[in-house]
Amino acid sequence: MPSPILESPTTDLEAQEHLLAVEAAEQSDDNDDRKKGGKKIKFEIRDLVRVSDAGVPILNKINVDIPKGKIVGIIGPSGSGKSTMLRALNRLWEPPSGTVFLDGEDIRQLDVLSLRRKVGMLFQLPVMFEGTVADNIRYGPQLRGKKLTDDEVQKLLTLADMDPSFFSRGGSELSVGQAQRVALARTLANEPDVLLLDEPTSALDPISTQNIEDCLEKLKKTRGMTIIIVSHSIKQIQRIADMVCLMVNGELVEVLTPDRLSEAKHPMAQKFLELSN
Ligand SMILES: Nc1ncnc2c1ncn2[C@@H]1O[C@H](COP(=O)(O)OP(=O)(O)OP(=O)(O)O)[C@@H](O)[C@H]1O
């Protein structure tokens, strides 16, 4: 019988439960960091390809280095492959061997549970598990036999920009914006090195959006976290990203800094940027 952990989750709820089913793993060793031009590289993506079961190309030879401790935005028209690329990075689908390296190691060689603890993920719509906010935050560590203290839970809430008084509130009583921050605290409870975010603020009002953006910047600055965010909002990417990957039709057509987005050369990319502004 195949291991349940390697089956592809089909819904965001399954995926979120999947990602939280983690084991204790070694913290990454700074000495293992890849360096290029003096910059530390977290992920190396090499000729990453995905073809659908019907033979339609979804990703076409993606090549990019994701720097450590930076916020990287992925933007592009609908259906261009942004989520597919993101989901390869913690094996929500299995990229071919030799195409995705984390700290220099092929992620196909890593234990999938350890990988998903190191590379946490937040989805567009948060799903709260049964119980209180504290139960939700304790969920991941508890699976590895670790019970977070009340103090640790409250610190995680604060880190996610939530008032610690939410501790005992029912998960189902939260607004979407509050639930998204609890989902973030729940992901952070696993002490990831990398955060993957798939349109995490598209269902949120501007204030909740700002709370999440502030929190991401804080995680980058205080913890050196590597953050990769798919967003439809070019303005959001310009506010928070250090580097922007622009995708069109399954191809990574430009890698730019946010202030140079207008220099994109691909005609479809130019049209997308023009219409999005
Ligand atoms: N498992 C799959 N099987 C077949 N086709 C798929 C699969 N996953 C994605 N696709 C197709 O691959 C293309 C890219 O999808 P993806 O969700 O990565 O795009 P996206 O850029 O994130 O889009 P959006 O901005 O609308 O979320 C789409 O045409 C989609 O229908």
Atom of ligand 1 nearest to the CA of 81: 18
Tens place of pLDDT per residue across the chain (277 aa): 333 333 445 555 555 555 444 333 333 444 445 566 667 999 999 999 999 999 999 999 999 999 999 999 999 999 999 999 999 999 999 999 999 999 999 999 999 999 999 999 999 889 999 999 999 999 999 998 999 999 999 999 998 889 999 999 999 999 988 999 999 999 999 999 999 999 999 888 898 899 899 999 999 999 999 999 999 999 999 999 999 999 999 999 999 999 988 888 888 888 888 888 6
User: Does residue 124 line the site of ligand 1, with CB under 6 A?
Assistant: no
CA of 84 to the centre of ligand 1 (A): 6
Query: If residue 247 lies in a helix (H) or strand (E), which one and from where to where?
Result: strand 243-248
Please give the pLDDT value at position 265. 86
- Closest-CA residue, ligand 1 atom 6, reads 52
Which of 48, 56, 83 most suits a substitution to test ligand 1, by most atoms within 8 Å of the C-beta? Answer: 83
196 backbone φψ class: left, alpha, beta (φ>0; ψ -120 to 50): beta
C-alpha–C-alpha distance, residues 19 and 64, integer Å:
24
pTM, rounded to two decimals? 0.86
List Cα–Cα distances, 77 to 52, 81, 202, 246, in angstroms. Answer: 19, 9, 15, 9
- Closest-CA residue, ligand 1 atom 18, reads 81
From the number of C-beta atoms within 10 Å of its C-beta (0-12, 13-18, 19+), residue 52 rates as exposed
- Closest-CA residue, ligand 1 atom 3, reads 52
Which of 52, 123, 198, 232 most suits a substitution to test ligand 1, by most atoms within 8 Å of the C-beta? Answer: 52
User: Does residue 77 line the site of ligand 1, with CB under 6 A?
Assistant: no
Atom of ligand 1 nearest to the CA of 76: 21
User: Does residue 231 line the site of ligand 1, with CB under 6 A?
Assistant: no
Contact 257, 243 (CB under 8 A): yes
The pair of structure tokens assigned to 217 is 């910047």
C-alpha–C-alpha distance, residues 117 and 191, integer Å:
7
Query: If residue 216 lies in a helix (H) or strand (E), which one and from where to where?
Result: helix 206-223
C-alpha–C-alpha distance, residues 96 and 200, integer Å:
27
CA of 196 to the centre of ligand 1 (A): 17
Reported ipTM: the value is 0.95
Please give the pLDDT value at position 23. 33
**What distance lies between CA 43 and its chain's CA centroid?**
12
200, HSE (Cβ side, Cα atoms, 13 Å) = 30
C-alpha–C-alpha distance, residues 245 and 47, integer Å:
15
